[in-house]
């Protein structure tokens, strides 16, 4: 291994990370368990929605032409011939100069083409005084106006949230084909690393990275599987990597900030597969490794937790999006105005932690090894490699944690 | 019951919704299961982090004063007296005109106060040529610089994501006290409503709202419990409401768009508790009920799914934030520029579905009953009740779905 890394631009590293994964297989699950999952195929509506022309207000179904010119002073006078019950069709039609009461959501009787809101009507014996003119189609939704039979409702890759669950229920998808939840193996390594339940001795630190990775994996709707802390030698790391590759859809290795540790991780990956990237022009996050063993991608993260977290967002996130079969990244972004200039070196992408207050974006400067910058910030701003920085007042995009 | 609702402003409705709930009790859980949960108390660090002064680069631990004026032409020449192993303290000190090799993350030997990056050093026999001057403290993190023993790491109410998991691991929180996950009961009602596994007959619709509510509840990290579809009568609705109040921390009732249905729901809530709000100056979402039965809050949502979803965001969200013990809403917001004017009526808050493209915010106009507007939009823009609308080019805040 050479003394210095051959740095790959972030864009190229991401395109490599994305090219070595395919979406996980799909499975059918009940709709009530589908929240957070990713649709594997298009869904179509098995019916017209609504299945009938439907009132959107409480009021009187009328022929719009009967209300032409109606006003408070000169209302239209319509004979009320009955009312429609919720969930039942009307047993009579609206004929000229008559109306029928319809509650919100009820089926419009034949002959009617608009609904007069009850707020603009006044009963007078058997007659209803309608005090506003109505346009055809006013206050109703036509059969099939929302979705028509056979229409595509949602496309594959869609992540299922509350609104998707509602739409899938309405369109008859009581089971849905979704991508299986990817399982992501997590291995921490380092002679200085001890478990969370231990008290670190001199020169030792606790394993923060396994938990950082596990949380990130959960944020992508995937399942973390922790393989514990390994020492920096083949005897300890080898079995863990082989087990993780065997059992998981992707593997995150963390630790290995120093050159010797990185080289060991790279050698171990090369031993069972292939190292594709060793070093990215990214700060923090330079000592990142991307490799694969058969169909299983592996990412070697830097040891510093805050650097590891940047690489998770910049490189692992796009890979996990493809692995999950999703059509869009999990992370939300927003635009804001930079409140303080951020200098940057050309030739590498800088990711700066920021705090967002209203439309203002404040850089949270701090050494990349400090954990406290992660919990004091809301997300990251990317400074492109061709740039020497971003000035106060410029608009920047923030990737939210 | 009166014919017209007495509309309450949104702000007042929210303050009532929030005032009738208290955070659920707390429990201790293992850290690896804590993702998405809400911290019930402050956590403190049991150790200094790092526990020792630590190198942030691969290089040579030096006394900064030995490098004053160093350059490519006239490097500082320091005798290398050894190297530090990861996880172990150095067995010797850095004395004047010497240096010791340290990998990234290793403990700095006594006597050193900076680290020269390996990229700026050149070995020459037993000596190292350092070609850059160093400031004291350069390329190292001091003991306790990240967190010091006893320092508050995270405050109660914090929702635990990946970065919080990492920080909690580092600071020794192998178990964490979090709020129990609230259980939210969901009841759908309506004579026109049939289950998802049924094909709606004439004038009938499927129960979309139960699933819409369940997904929203899941987004808040809570547990939905569905009580199915009830008919619009006391015999059907009564037992469901009583069971839900018994078993759950909060109850969402949906359906009841028409006046008769709303009145029934309100009467049923009044029968076992108290109706606090019946009608909100909100569009869509006017026919909303807020009540309580003992300590259990109930929200009666409008029947139209798209209206129900607005009320979930505008009213239920703030209530669920308090119920969960969280210090901030679950929903993210962003600022954008309105690409098309939105008219609005004074005296009510309008919530308009919008699509976001870069910094541009496009209103998605559509009848409030249409489900397709939910899956074609990214979130909501609120038009305050005192406003007659928002003009093209104005900056608006979008609550993302």
CATH number of the domain enclosing A270: 3.40.980.10
Rg (CA), chain B: 30
Q: B370 to chain A, minimum CA–CA distance in Å?
A: 5
Task: Establish if A3 belongs to a structural domain.
Answer: no
Beta bridge partners of B116: B60
SS3 content of chain B, % helix, strand, coil (to 5): 25, 35, 45
The answer to whether residues A171 and A89 belong to one domain is no
Q: A379 to chain B, minimum CA–CA distance in Å?
A: 11
Report which of residues B3 and A311 the model is more confident about: A311
Three-class SS state of B138: coil
CATH number of the domain enclosing A373: 2.40.340.10
Task: Establish if A297 belongs to a structural domain.
Answer: yes
Yes or no: say if B249 and B223 are a contact pair by the CB < 8 Å rule.
no
Enumerate the residues of chain B whose CB falls inside 8 A of the CB of residue A161.
215, 219, 401
Last residue of a domain, one of A271, A291, A324: A324
* Closest CA relative to residue A162, chosen from A35, A3, A337, A290: A35
Task: Establish if B2 belongs to a structural domain.
Answer: no
The answer to whether residues B161 and B237 belong to one domain is no
Q: B360 to chain A, minimum CA–CA distance in Å?
A: 10
Contact A257 B103 (CB under 8 A): yes
Residue B262 clears pLDDT 90, i.e. is over it? no
The answer to whether residues A134 and A243 belong to one domain is no
The answer to whether residues A36 and A58 belong to one domain is no
* Closest CA relative to residue A160, chosen from B286, B214, B50: B214
Enumerate the residues of chain B whose CB falls inside 8 A of the CB of residue A196.
31, 169, 172-174
The answer to whether residues B355 and B307 belong to one domain is no
Specify the number of domains making up chain A: 4
Mean pLDDT for all residues in chain B: 94
Show the domain range for B298. Answer: 10-24+181-324
Say what the pLDDT of residue A265 is: 92
| pLDDT, tens digit, 9 for 90 and up, residues B51-93 | 999 999 899 999 999 999 999 999 999 999 999 999 999 999 9
Task: Establish if B146 belongs to a structural domain.
Answer: no
Q: A204 to chain B, minimum CA–CA distance in Å?
A: 5
In degrees and rounded to multiples of 5, residue A391 shows phi and psi of -90, 155
Of the candidates B88, B200, B303, the beta carbon closest to that of A104 is on: B303
The answer to whether residues B261 and B279 belong to one domain is yes
The answer to whether residues B290 and B394 belong to one domain is no
Residue A1 clears pLDDT 70, i.e. is over it? no
Last residue of a domain, one of B290, B324, B358: B324
Enumerate the residues of chain B whose CB falls inside 8 A of the CB of residue A204.
51, 87
Task: Establish if A168 belongs to a structural domain.
Answer: yes
Enumerate the residues of chain A whose CB falls inside 8 A of the CB of residue B104.
257-259, 303-304
Last residue of a domain, one of A269, A300, A324: A324
Contact A162 B335 (CB under 8 A): no
CATH number of the domain enclosing B160: 3.90.105.10
Say what the pLDDT of residue B388 is: 87
The answer to whether residues A17 and A39 belong to one domain is no
Distance (Å, whole) CA B49 – CA B151 = 10
Mutate to test the interface with B, among A170, A259, A364, A394 (most CBs of B within 10 A): A170
Residue B258 clears pLDDT 80, i.e. is over it? no
Contact B86 A161 (CB under 8 A): no
Of the candidates A145, A200, A400, the beta carbon closest to that of B332 is on: A400
| pLDDT, tens digit, 9 for 90 and up, residues A92-148 | 999 999 999 999 889 999 999 999 999 999 999 999 999 999 999 999 999 999 999
Of the candidates B191, B216, B371, the beta carbon closest to that of A49 is on: B371
Enumerate the residues of chain A whose CB falls inside 8 A of the CB of residue B257.
103-105
Mean pLDDT for all residues in chain A: 94
Task: Establish if A74 belongs to a structural domain.
Answer: yes
| pLDDT, tens digit, 9 for 90 and up, residues A43-101 | 999 999 999 999 988 999 999 999 999 999 999 999 999 999 999 999 999 999 999 99
The answer to whether residues B71 and B167 belong to one domain is no
Residue B341 clears pLDDT 50, i.e. is over it? yes
Say what the pLDDT of residue B368 is: 64
Task: Establish if B374 belongs to a structural domain.
Answer: yes
The answer to whether residues B262 and B314 belong to one domain is yes
Task: Establish if A358 belongs to a structural domain.
Answer: yes
Enumerate the residues of chain B whose CB falls inside 8 A of the CB of residue A304.
56, 104-105
The answer to whether residues B171 and B36 belong to one domain is yes
CATH number of the domain enclosing A85: 2.170.190.11
Beta strands A114-117 and A59-62 are antiparallel
Three-class SS state of B275: strand
Once rounded to an integer, what is the mean pLDDT over residues A380-388? 90
Once rounded to an integer, what is the mean pLDDT over residues A317-323? 98
Distance (Å, whole) CA B258 – CA B192 = 12
The answer to whether residues A206 and A274 belong to one domain is yes
* Closest CA relative to residue A80, chosen from A106, A98, A102: A98
Distance (Å, whole) CA A352 – CA A48 = 50
Our measurement of the distance from residue B268's CA atom to the centroid of its chain's CA atoms, rounded to an integer in Å, reads 34
pTM over 0.90: yes
């Amino acid at each position: 291994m050479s003394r210095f890394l051959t740095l790959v631009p972030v864009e190229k590293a991401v395109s490599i990370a994305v090219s070595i994964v395919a979406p996980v297989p799909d499975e059918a699950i009940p709709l009530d368990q589908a929240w957070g999952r990713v649709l594997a195929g298009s869904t179509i509506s098995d019916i017209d929605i609504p299945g009938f022309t439907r009132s959107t207000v409480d009021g009187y179904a009328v022929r719009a032409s009967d209300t032409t010119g109606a006003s408070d002073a000169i209302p239209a006078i319509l004979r009320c011939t009955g009312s429609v019950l919720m969930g039942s069709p009307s047993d009579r039609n609206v004929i000229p100069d008559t109306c029928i009461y319809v509650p919100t959501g009820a089926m419009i009787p034949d002959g009617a083409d608009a609904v007069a809101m009850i707020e603009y009507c006044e009963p007078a014996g058997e007659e209803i005084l309608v005090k506003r003119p109505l346009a055809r189609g006013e206050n109703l939704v036509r059969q099939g106006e929302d979705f028509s039979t056979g229409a595509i409702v949602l496309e594959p890759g869609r992540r299922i949230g509350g609104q998707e669950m509602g739409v899938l229920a309405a369109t008859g998808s009581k089971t849905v084909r979704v991508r299986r939840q990817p399982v992501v193996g997590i291995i921490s390594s380092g002679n200085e690393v001890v478990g969370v339940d231990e008290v670190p001795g001199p020169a030792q630190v606790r394993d923060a990275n396994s938990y950082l990775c596990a949380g990130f994996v959960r944020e992508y709707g995937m399942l973390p599987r922790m393989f514990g802390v390994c020492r920096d030698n083949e005897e300890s790391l080898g079995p863990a990597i082989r087990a993780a590759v065997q059992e998981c859809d992707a593997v995150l290795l963390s630790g290995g900030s120093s050159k010797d540790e990185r080289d060991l991780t790279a050698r171990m990956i090369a031993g069972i597969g292939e190292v594709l990237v060793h070093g990215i022009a990214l700060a923090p996050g330079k000592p990142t490794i991307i490799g694969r063993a058969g169909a299983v991608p592996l990412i070697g993260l830097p040891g510093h937790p805050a650097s590891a977290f940047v690489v998770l967002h910049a490189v692992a996130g796009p890979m996990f999006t493809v692995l999950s079969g999703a059509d869009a990244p999990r992370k939300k972004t927003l635009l804001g105005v930079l409140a303080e200039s951020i200098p940057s070196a050309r030739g590498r992408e800088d990711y700066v932690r920021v705090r967002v207050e209203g439309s203002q974006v404040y850089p949270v400067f701090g050494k990349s090894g400090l954990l406290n910058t992660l919990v004091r910030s809301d997300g990251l701003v990317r400074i492109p490699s061709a740039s020497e920085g971003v000035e106060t007042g410029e608009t920047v995009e923030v990737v939210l944690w």
